[in-house]
Structure 1
């Protein structure tokens, strides 16, 4: 069995408040979206236009959902500050 030493300084602090958890989830989803951005280039290079079109349509829906959730987060933080 391997010994695993975690670098605790490099680990993010896990929030405990619901709004902070929501913000962390948004951040993770946005990072995942950015990391997957090269998939469209793979379809383009492979000359798979149908897969590229489906990927772009899915991306549009994903971005609309992310935008709605960021708007929700903004409205929740504004009501919390008031």
Structure 2
């Protein structure tokens, strides 16, 4: 049990360090983009799940993975130019 706790703590520490580094990198990227001369492409905001459903049809949004409430809020912030990493 003690080994599991040590492994969990180590994995948590590494994960948190990546999240912090990623947030800082996102801030730097947004600063560069804000300075002009750059383009940022975003596929989409949060849409739960992975891949396309079996019954997916490109012309029918009801068959696709759609944004959830969080994704719609992200999309609104992106449209307003305020999204900064999640």
Tell me whether the two structures share a fold, i.e. TM-score over 0.5. Answer: no
Q: Which has the higher contact order (CA 8 A, sep 6+)?
A: 1
TM-score normalized by the length of structure 1: 0.40
